[in-house]
Structure 1
Amino acid sequence: MNFSERTKYTLANSIKELMENVPLDKITVREIVENCGTTRQTFYRNFKDKYDLVNWYFDKIIQKTIKQMGLSLSLEEGLIKKFEFMQEDKYFFMSAFTSSDLNNLFHYDYCCIYEFYKEVAMSKRPLTEEIGLLLEFYCRSSMDMTADWVRKGMRISPATMARILVDAMPLRLHEYLSDLSRYRHTT
């Protein structure tokens, strides 16, 4: 791991510590850098703001699971892994998903999921406008349910949560998303 990557993880660990006791929206960059013994200049060399830091950390721990869907994980298995990671960093996600900022993790995760599912679906055939709207509806409702699960303390198991989200998929999307075995990431 290079110096820049170590610095980013140091800042991520700092904000995670703070998020155990303080809502994300109330944490300042000053508190983040003081907590880990670095400077504001270092912070801003690496991130635009604290939400950019949270989204970067999310990418590091969650997106590697998403990238495995279709390679070695089914959609349900990928969601289980994602929810397990979320449980491991419970306080981080509980704080991040209660943020009301426009750049919050909820919005970022929605965009990631929507783009991933859209890419998968379009790898099979072009999307009609109706299927595109159905996909958007499914992603929004999936994110709402995920956020509720997080905010309520993640009381049901990751496997149950993943099964519910897969079972809730509209039938017309199944032909696009249920079999990821033919999909391969281009990046």
Structure 2
Amino acid sequence: MDIKYKLAEAMKACMRTTSVENITVKQIVETAGCSRQSFYRNFIDKYDLVNWYFDRLLEQSFKEMGKGETIREGLIKKFQYIKQEKLFFSAGFKGDNQNNLKEHDFIMIYEFYCAIIREKTGTPPDTKTRKLLEMYCWSSIYMTVQWLMKGMKEPEEALADLMIDAMPPKLHELFKEIHIL
């Protein structure tokens, strides 16, 4: 197993009994059975590890969406990943420290949407579209965190539909034009 995944598994094991804020690098490396040097060769801090693992979990859903899947299908996959990794995401989304998962999720989603708009239209999104994307991405993260923390009562498909319904009309129109909605 790759050392990064070994450290991620150790982090998840630590999360079962300790909040992310209280987990130490020492705990992670002891659980993983590796050295602090191995940890710091791969990650800046524990939040960097959390963000890296989050990226791996969501990379595939974004790749698929970029290959022709719709936003709805990509969102459903994202929510399925979150459900499978409930412990990890519950702990990760609780923190508001520097380098936290909510901010990282925002950057990842926002950059994904900007890249797909640029790829499909040949130009980067204009200022108004970028501002609408910012608001939409932050509200999507808020709703995802609420869904997770309140026990994931709605099915993934229903949450995806709600997020699409909440999309600003200008984004909805643009995403339809570029065939991702």
- Fold-level match, TM-score > 0.5? yes
Alignment match, 1:68:
64
Give the one of 156, 159, 162 matched to 1:161.
159
1:93 correspondence with 2:89: yes
Give the one of 47, 50, 58 matched to 1:54.
50
Percentage identity across paired residues of the two chains = 43
Shift of residue 122 of structure 1? 3.0
- 1:22-57 Cα distance to aligned partner (Å, 9 max, x none): 211111100001112111111101111111111111
Q: How does 1:22-171 map to 2 (within 5 A)?
A: 22-123=18-119, 124=121, 125-171=123-169
Paired residue total: 178
- 1:66-118 Cα distance to aligned partner (Å, 9 max, x none): 11103142110010001001100100000000012120111101000001111
Higher helix share: 2
Q: TM-score, normalised by structure 1?
A: 0.89
Q: Secondary structure at the match of 1:97?
A: helix
Distance 1:63 1:179, change over 3 A: farther
Q: TM-score, normalised by structure 2?
A: 0.91
Give structure 1 regions of 4+ aligned residues with deviation exceeding 3 angstroms.
178-182
Greater mean alpha carbon deviation, residues 173-182 or residues 79-88? 173-182
- Structure possessing the higher relative contact order (Cα contacts under 8 Å, 6 or more residues apart): 1
Q: Secondary structure at the match of 1:69?
A: helix
Shift of residue 180 of structure 1? 5.1
Alignment match, 2:171:
173
Shift of residue 62 of structure 1? 1.1
Question: C-alpha distance in 2, partners of 1:19/1:177?
Answer: 38
Alignment match, 1:19:
15
Question: C-alpha distance in 1, partners of 2:130/2:44?
Answer: 31
CA contact (8 A) 1:19 1:91 kept: yes
CA contact (8 A) 2:50 2:101 kept: yes
Question: C-alpha distance in 2, partners of 1:179/1:157?
Answer: 28
Distance 1:31 1:132, change over 3 A: same
Distance 1:57 1:117, change over 3 A: same
CA contact (8 A) 2:16 2:87 kept: yes
Q: Secondary structure at the match of 1:33?
A: helix
Structure 1: gaps (5+ residues): 183-187
Question: C-alpha distance in 2, partners of 1:51/1:86?
Answer: 17
Structure 2: gaps (5+ residues): none
